[in-house]
Each structure stands twice: as C-alpha cells, then as structure tokens.
Structure 1
Amino acid sequence: MVLTRTMMRAAIAAVLPLSLAGVGTVVTAAPAAASGSNRPGGWQNSATGTTGPTSLKDVRSIIGADTGVASLLTGAGVGVALLDTGVVPVSGLPAKQIVNGPDLSFESQADGLRYLDSYGHGTHMAGIIVGNDTASGSKGLAPGAKLTSVKLGTANGAVDVSQVIAAIDWVVANKDADPANPIRVINLSYGSGGNPSSTTDPLQFAVEQAWKAGIVVVAAAGNDGAAAGTLDDPATDPFVLSVGAADTNGTVSTADDEVAEFSSSGSAARPVDVLAPGESIISLRDPGSSIDVDYPAARVGDTLFRGSGTSQATAITSAAVALLLQARPWLTPDQVKNLLKRGTSLTGSRTTELNVGKALGLIADPSSTQKFRASTGNGKLDDARGDSRVLSNNIPLSGENSVWGPFRSANWAAFAAQKRSWVRGTWMGSTIAGTGWTGASWASKTWGAAAWAGGPWGGTPTWSDPSWSIRRWSSARWSTTDWSGARYTAGVDWATSTWG
C-alpha cells in the first residue's frame, strides 16, 4: 500500500479543518539533501513488534518506584516542562496539574488549535508523567508534579530547531514563575537530524544554559537503531541526560530486558546515559488526533493508547527525575545524572536501565561536576537542522534564519547566557507570544498568544495547511497489534513512502 500525499491530507482532514488563517501557503518537506539516517518521521508498517502492552503500573515496578521511599513520592513540588505537540483536556489529565506555556507552533495562529495536541504525541507523554485516568486506573509516574506544556509541533509533529531553542530559552526565563513548583526538568522527546559540533551547536548551547540554570534536561536518544552510531541532537550533548529505550519483553523483571532494536545507542564517545522502558507503553489517548485516526488498533479501551520509542523512555525518565528531586530538592542536575547512572539495573549485559529506587538509596556525591567542553553556541543553526526543512511557498527554511526572522548565533548566545533572549512575549526581537499569563484555556493557567507573520524565507506567509512535514519526533513508533512503526524507509516524499 502506498501512502500518498493526498491520503495523508485526507487523514489529517478528519482531525483538522484545512483553514488555519488565510490561504495560499503550503508547508511541506523538502527533498533530503543527502541519503542516510537523517530522515523526517513517518510511519512504517511492519510485523516485527512482539512485546505485549506495558502498563504504567508495570513501568513503576520496572524502574523501582513502587517500593520503599520511592513508593511514597509523587513528584509534588517539582515542575516539568514538556516541549512537545501540546496537550488536550482529556479526562486523564487533571487541569490543576497542567500549565500551558506559550504555543510556539505554526498552529498557534489558529484559534481552534492553539495549545491543543492535534498529533497525539504530547498527550501521550503527559499521561506518562502526570496522568490520572480514573476510567482505566492508569496513573502517571509523577502524578503530583506540575507539568508545563510548551507546544512546538503540529498535526504530524512538524517543528524547526529554532522553535525548540526559543522554547528552551522561555523555560529558563520562566522556571521560577510558580515558586511552589519551580521547573526542574525539561522533557525533550524530540531529536534534530543534524550532526553539528557539540562545541559550537546552538541547540546544545540552549540545553546547556538550562542545565546551568538548575534544570535537568532529559533528551531522547532517537529511533535509528544501534547502527546509526550517533544520538539525535540534543541528546548528543554530553551534559544532558540522554535516554535510550529498553524492550521489557512483556515482564516486570529486568533480567530479560534488552535494548530495543529501534533505539539509538550512540557511540563509545557519547553513548546513552540510561535506558528506560520504551516498547509498547500504554498512556493516554488523544481522540481524533493524527495518530489516533491513522492507527485505531493502538487504542486500549476508550481512553488509552500504546506506543513505542525513545520518547516514551524519556518521559518515564523525566518522571523519575521529578521523584528524585521531590525527595532531594537540593540536588544539582549533575548530581541527579550521577545518581541515576549509578543506580541502575543491568539490562541484557549491554547497558543499564533506570532504577529510581536504587538511586534514592545512594549518597549524592557533592563533587559530581561534569567537566565537558561546553558549546559556544556560535555555530550554524542550519547544521543542527539536518536534511529536512519546513517550506513556505515552496521555499525551504535554511541558512541562518529562525521561523521568525534572521538568526545570528553569536548574538543570540550572548543574550541567552544572560537570560535576556526573552522579554515578556518577544524572543530576540520578534513578538511570538503574549506578554504574560491569561485564563484563556482549560489548564490551571496559560501564557497568552500573539499573531506572527512567519519566517522571511517565503515572504510573509499565512499558514493555511496543517500537513507540515519536518524531522521526526523521536517516538514515532506507535505499536498496534501487529506493527511497530518507526520512520520512513523511502525518503521524505509522501508519495514514494510505502508500508512494508
């Protein structure tokens, strides 16, 4: 079966009206600049998935969070920033635990889509962290944490690296906005396809500034398999906590766990830091979202959905970090990383799997200070993008341009280091969000919206097509009864991508 562009748009049309704001602009994916593993995300039908569904209750046992001190923790008092595709007000997400940060996605320009998850990915991640679905009894791993959703992706996950950088900067600038729940964790289930130098990469500079500000950045390794030989950016950054996915083989014992075949493992110079369950994880369903419409067999009852990938593993790890920080709020990010790496269980004799219970039993080393060479941030933004671009009026976003205008890395890095890249709703001189908190959403509080014209690479576009395509979200493996999709096998053109 060939998945054509028309078919894809028809699927998305069932979820979203093709009438965002204005007419005439189509945003899609550019042809790959080179062959290789840097591909935009998609869905691949295969019959290779064998692991049965894994509930969050089972995950809690696997990571050692259901006994001892860990069983008493909920993540209360810890803020977690979810940089993803937004969240929706399903019954399993308590409004009191959710804050909507700014919507920096292209869909922010549509009143009916702003803050909401038209893709289904962000809601699934949120369910893993803070969900509480009374209908099914499924509960997130840190249900007492305060989750701030910063929406970046659209109906198929599309996002540019510049939007991710702006989101990280916003979190750093606003991490103490809620003194009772300061943001201590950033969940980045996102991976850029670029392979820039870690000593100059702007994206890695951004996550390092968050790390220096006391925020543990948890980043997905990617779903390209061990053969890729590298991690996705910014998991490549040596400072952050990179997460690979473990296949639990459908049991709560870690004795039979192994590295999931799709999980990127990195290299000897930069391997993954920890593994966490990432195969067929059951979390919240986002009814009517792109993945919900395209993969109904992945539904579990009426309220849940199951999927696989390093994204799920990342969300599990972010929740574990929240538990650890609730118990020991004085820990630095370096100490958190050190404890989680030391407090692991052996997995398949190859690497180690997260165990928050063991980590809580360890004494923090006050000298746990990472001394890697830091990024200057003055490298090329284009190097972080890889080989896939958003297009406006058939012109790809490339070069030193953000979605909103010219981007000068060295200038931005100087402002970001001083926490001055954001001034209320303006990022590096471009107004892209409101000026503060409003009450205009279902969440406990919401950052206001703003109109913006879009990037200069295509004139002054008016976003009219929600079927954007760009680099994958790193958990684009959604398991059904007989498949576990990962990514395109035939490049970036929808019309030539096939289901195996």
Structure 2
Amino acid sequence: MTGWHTRAVALAAGVLALAVVGPSAPTAPSAGPGHWASWLGSASADPATGLAEVRALIGAATGAAGNLTGRGVGIALIDTGVAPVAGLPPSRIVNGPDLSLESQAPQLRYLDTFGHGTHMAGIIAGADPVTGATGLAPGARLTSIKVGTATGAVDVTQVIAAVDWVVKHRADDPAYPIRVLNLSYGSGGTPATWTDPLGLAVERAWQAGIVVVAAAGNDGNAAGSLANPASDEWVLSVGAVATKGTATVADDELTAFTNLPGSGKQINVLAPGVSILSLRDPGSYIDTEFPSAREGETLFRGSGTSQAAAVTSAAVALLVQARPAATPDQLKDWLVRSATYVPNGAAARLGLREINVNAALARSAVPAPPQTWNRSSGTGTLDNSRGPSRLVFDNAPLTGQRSVWGPLPTSTWAIRTTTGTSWSGGLWMGYRVAGDDWTGTSWASRTWAPATWSNSTPWSGTTAAWSDPSWSGRSWSGRSWSAGSWSGRSWSSDDWSTASWR
C-alpha cells in the first residue's frame, strides 16, 4: 500500500514518544493511531472555560488592558491551517504559503482539515457567531502558514521553512506587521541548543522583532525536558494551568500533562489550558473523532499547552498594541516578571506564575535588561531536531540532512537564513515550494500563491508521491467538510496529537 504517514520511532528501551505538540498529548506514550480511542474524546470532569473567563483570568478584562484588542498587530500562526468558519471573518485572516503535504490537493490547500489551527485562531482572534464571545485579541490579524495535515503529518523542515518565511515577510502588511509568532508545536527532539536548526530559526525571528511563543509540551510533568523550540532560552515558553472553572488564580494548578524539564530552561509563564472553548471546525478530523468535545454547533473544547500558547500570543498582541516600540526582550521581561503567583502544587514549588496583562503593562515602566543567551549556530543535525518522529513514505522514513523537498545541509541553510536569503520568491533553499507572490486565491483576505512540487519524494524516489487516496472527494462545502471520515487508508500520525479534546 502506498501512502504517507508520520510514525513514532522507538527510542532506547523501546519507549515511543510524540513529536509534535497538539492541544494535549498523552501522559503515557502510545504506539500508533489506535491510541486515539483509548484516551481521547471522553467526558471531562473539568468545566468548560469560555474566552471571556480566560480574559478575566489573565488580567485583560478591566483596567488599562480592558480596551485593548490587538489592533495593528500581526500574529503568525504556523499550524494546520484555518477553516472558513463563521467566527473568523476573512478580514482577520491572511493565508501565507501552504507548506503542508496537502498543498498539492487544491481542494484542501490552506484549509484546516485537522481542526487544531482553527481552534488556535479562535482563541486569538475569533468571534462565536452564536454567543458573541470574542477571541482575546479580536483586533489582531492572523497570518496562517499551514504545515500540518488532517492527521498531523509534518516534518521539522517544513516548520523551519515556515519560520524563515515569516521573518522574510513580516512587514508585508504595514498596517499589521507580524510581531508575534504562535508555535503550538514542538518537536520531540532534545538537541544541543547551541547548534539546533529549529533553534536558529526561532532566534532569527526573535532578533527580527517577533515574539516567539512556544508550547512547553504535553508529555507530562515527568517528561524531563521542554518541547523544542520551547526549550530555547530566547523564546517565551508556556505551560498550561487548570482553572477549575473559577475567575481566580487562587485555585489554579499546573496541569499534569505539561512538560517539566529535569534541568536547563524552565517554563517562562503559565496560561489557562484546560477545556478551553474555541471555534469548532465541522467535519474536521478532531470534530469527527471526538464529538463529545462539541459545545453546540459552533464551539469545541480543547486542552493543552497549545491552547495556553495561543492565550499567551493574544496577550502579547495586547501588550504590543499598548507599547508598539517594545522589543521582544522587553515584552518577555514584563510578562514573566509581573505574572501572578500560583499558590498550589508543582507551580508553587517551582515558582511558576500565570500571565497578567494589566500587571505587565504596569511593569513596562521598569527598564528591562536585554537577553544575553548564546545563540544557536543552526549547524546541528535535522534528526536531533526531529527527535523520535519521522515522516514516512512507503516505509521509508525521512532522516538525515534532508527536507521534505530535497537534501538540506544545515551548514548551508544556516548561512542563508542568517543572511535572509533562504527564501527567494516561492523558492526555499532552491526548491520550488510555493508561488512567488501574493497572487493566490482563497477565502481569506489575502493569499500567497501555490506551486506544484516535484512528483517524486526526495528520499524514496517514488513517483507521484504528492498525492494520497484519502484526499479524494474531500472538500469544504458551505460551513463544513464533506465526504466521510478522515481516517483514510494511507494516513496515520502521532503528530499534533491530543490528550484531551473534551
């Protein structure tokens, strides 16, 4: 049988690990797609937390922050795309290049077949058409760069290419320059931070004036390390708290699924991340697999450091609106040093604190020292960045110094990304991965043009690789996905996995 999937690869002692942070990941690793039914979609004991409650919890509902919307701030969302649901007006969404495998299927291009990216977009800038509840930064503009498919298949090189593109095109919209990059993603790798390619990519974004917000990971408090790139000292790493359905931080607790490191960088901040209500993507993978997570016709519950990262990205956008001249180092310092003490459990023991926008605004009067961490050279191996998960085609895993599109010596890429030349039009590192300009068409207000990839995989040589039988007949019809189940015969994945859509 021919087809793509992403699989977890055995580590020492036969342990399997997940490579990408979805809304949540299992507390115990699981070995394949069959694990979905065993721990997902069950009824939750946690009350649903609406975005109005989240806004109050993070100190953004009243005071100086009460009137902030993120207006004038661009937020890049590297994820699984965004679906044109009623709660996301086209004026709020820009589609950057689709770098996912599904970009080669015109009816799937740019669109969120999984449901994860739409959930993140709703938290940040959505508006529920039924209740009227808005995202935390409803005045911001989102630039979606799709990298994940309906089952989450993605390689770290696609994410690196997406970050490079964001840096290159951060000022394309002068009214909404990109100042925040949300990465509700993390590879399972634990590379040396001083040579990690993904680390260099996000550090380049940071030095270009973009606050990179990265999910800490969902492998549990005993994980021993943060997900990559949350483990990079420069970026803003986010863990998730359970809010217990109240509007006070006094009873909040660090979630059991949040990664904690054994050494090295600790989580920078915490944010609400349990049973967060955001926009539903009808007929998407998670909507089909976990119907118990639906709240009415328009909303969906999700838990994880992904949601906490999206909450924090919105909070950063509010701060940028209020303090547009602030640097990423200043914004991070204000958020971290002003955060609210969480008086319970592991959070109290480790000194972890929950973000507070009003307190950060007050803190902005205090000078913030620049960060002085060492920077990554970017010349390390891609396999160390990938960690235990590999994109696989016909049982041939993508390994070594190769991208999805062809060979990728990191020493060459590091020079070109540092000089801002990794992208030229729609070419990344010399490979045709997208069109050359903003001439594409989609439901969004503006769209980057697509391109046809080579018809053979760069590591297996198989022809007609950029297609899959499970794509046949899939289309967005009106307000939902049509044509049956997303459990196609060729696709499976342990990426963008969730421990709780509930």
Superposition TM-score, scaled by structure 1 size: 0.88
Query: What is the deviation of 1:470?
Result: 4.6
Say whether the 8 Å CA contact 2:6–2:494 is kept in structure 1.
no
Deviation, structure 1 residue 391: 1.1
**Which of 165, 171, 175 is the matching residue for 1:170?**
165
Counterpart of 1:463 in structure 2 is 467
Quote the Cα distance in structure 1 between the aligned partners of 2:466 and 2:406: 15
Match of 1:123 in 2: 118
Cα contact 2:206–2:328 (8 A) shared by 1: yes
The one-letter code of the counterpart of 2:459 is: W
Deviates more, 1:463-472 or 1:57-66: 463-472
Cα separation, 1, equivalents of 2:395 and 2:327: 46
Cα distance between partner residues in 1 of 2:368 and 2:128: 41
Q: Which moved more, 1:396-405 or 1:367-376?
A: 367-376
Give the Cα–Cα distance (whole angstroms) in 1 for the partners of residues 296 and 92 of structure 2: 24
Amino acid at match of 1:457: W
Question: What is the alpha-carbon distance in structure 1 between the residues aligned to residue 448 and residue 45 of structure 2?
Answer: 42
Task: Check conservation: 1:192, 1:471, Cα contact below 8 A.
Answer: no
CA positional deviation for 1:464 = 1.3
- How high is the sequence identity, in percent, across the aligned residues? 56
Classify 1:91/1:364 alpha carbon distance in 2 versus 1 (closer, same or farther; 3 Å): same
Match of 1:89 among 84, 89, 94: 84
Question: In structure 1, how many angstroms separate the alpha carbons of the residues matched to 2:198 and 2:17?
Answer: 17
- Find the counterpart in structure 2 of residue 252 from structure 1: 247
Superposed displacement of residue 49, structure 1: 4.3
The match for 1:5 is none
For 2:374, the aligned partner's letter is: R
Range 29-38 or range 280-289, more displaced: 29-38
The aligned counterpart of 1:72 is: 67
Structure-1 residue corresponding to 2:403: 402
What is the Cα deviation at residue 415 of structure 1? 0.6
Per-residue CA deviations over 1:279-328 (Å, capped at 9, x if unaligned) read 00000000000000011110001000001000000000000000000000
SS of corresponding position for 2:317:
helix
Query: In structure 2, what is the Cα distance between the partners aligned to 1:395 and 1:252?
Result: 50
User: What does residue 474 of structure 2 align with?
Assistant: none
Give the Cα–Cα distance (whole angstroms) in 1 for the partners of residues 446 and 284 of structure 2: 23
**Structure 2 partner of 1:154:** 149
State the alpha-carbon separation in 2 of the partners of residues 365 and 457 from structure 1.
Answer: 53
Distance 1:298 1:199, change over 3 A: same
Q: Supply the distance in 1 between the matched residues of 2:374 and 2:365 (Cα, whole angstroms).
A: 23
The CA deviation string for residues 245-276 of structure 1, in whole angstroms up to 9 with x for no partner, is 00111111100001011111224421100000
State the Cα distance separating 1:455 from its structure 2 match. 3.5
Superposed displacement of residue 361, structure 1 = 1.1
1:369 counterpart SS class:
coil
Residue in 1 aligned with 2:47?
Answer: 52
Cα deviation, 1:128-159, whole Å, max 9, x if unaligned, reads 00001221222100000010000000001111
1:444 matched to 2:445? yes
Does structure 1 retain, via aligned residues, the 8 Å contact 2:46–2:275? Answer: yes
Distance 1:455 1:328 in 2: 46
Matched, 1:144 2:139: yes
Secondary structure, counterpart of 1:456 in structure 2: coil
Deviation at 1:472, TM superposition (A): 2.9
Which amino acid counterpart does residue 27 of structure 1 have in structure 2? H
Alignment size in residue pairs: 457
1:374-393 equivalences under 5 Å are 374-393=375-394
- Letter matched to residue 466 of structure 2: T
Q: In the superposition, relative to structure 1, how do residues 401 and 445 fare at CA in structure 2: closer, same or farther (>3 Å)?
A: same
- TM-score where L is the length of structure 2: 0.88
Q: Is the 8 A contact 1:390 1:469 kept in 2?
A: no
Q: Aligned residue for 1:495?
A: none
CA distance in 2, matches of 1:314, 1:287: 23
Q: 1: CA distance between counterparts of 2:421 and 2:129? A: 42
For residues 33 and 406 of structure 1, what CA distance do their matches in structure 2 show? 25
Asked if the contact 1:265–1:271 (Cα under 8 Å) also holds between the matched residues in 2, the reply is: yes
Report the alpha carbon displacement of residue 69 of structure 1 after superposing the two structures with TM: 1.3
Aligned pairs for 1:456-495 within 5 A: 456-459=458-461, 460=463, 461-466=465-470, 468-470=491-493, 472-473=495-496, 476-480=498-502
Give the superposition deviation at 1:225.
Answer: 1.2
Partners of 1:30 and 1:256 lie apart in 2 by 36
Q: Distance in 2 between matches of 1:295 and 1:470?
A: 16
* Unpaired stretches in structure 1, ≥5 consecutive residues: 1-22, 481-500
Conserved in 2, the CA contact under 8 Å of 1:76 and 1:144? Answer: yes
Between 186-195 and 355-364, the greater mean CA deviation after superposition: 355-364
Q: Deviations over 1:181-200 (max 9, x none)?
A: 00000000001011100000
* Paired AA for residue 119 in structure 2: H
In 2, distance between residues paired with 1:49 and 1:26? Answer: 33
Shift, 1:175, TM fit = 0.1
| Structure 1 counterpart SS, 2:201 | helix
8 Å Cα contact 2:437/2:448 also seen in 1: yes
Amino acid of the residue matched to residue 286 of structure 1? D
Encode CA deviations 1:403-444: one digit per residue, 9 max, x unaligned: 000011111011101111000100000010011112511100
Q: How far is 1:25 from its partner?
A: 3.5
AA matched with 1:103: D
Distance 1:192 1:335 in 2: 27
- Aligned AA for 1:165? I
> Matched residues in 1 for 2:335 and 2:139: separation?
20
Give the equivalent residue in structure 2 for 1:217: 212
Correspondence for 1:414:
415
- Paired residues for 1:153-302 under 5 Å: 153-302=148-297
Shift of 1:469: 4.1
For residues 53 and 465 of structure 1, the distance between their equivalents in structure 2, rounded to whole angstroms, comes to 37
- Partners of 1:400 and 1:472 lie apart in 2 by 20
How many angstroms apart in 2 are the aligned matches of 1:479 and 1:250? 17
CA contact (8 A) 2:97 2:434 kept: yes
Match of 1:372 in 2: 373
CA-CA distance at 1:116 after TM superposition: 0.3
- Answer whether contact 2:6 2:154 (CA < 8 A) is retained: no
What residue number does 2:10 align with?
Answer: 32
What is the root-mean-square deviation in Å for CA atoms of aligned residues?
1.7
Q: Which moved more, 1:286-295 or 1:436-445?
A: 436-445
Whole-Å separation in 1 of the counterparts to 2:202 and 2:6: 27
Task: Give the match's secondary structure for 1:124.
Answer: helix
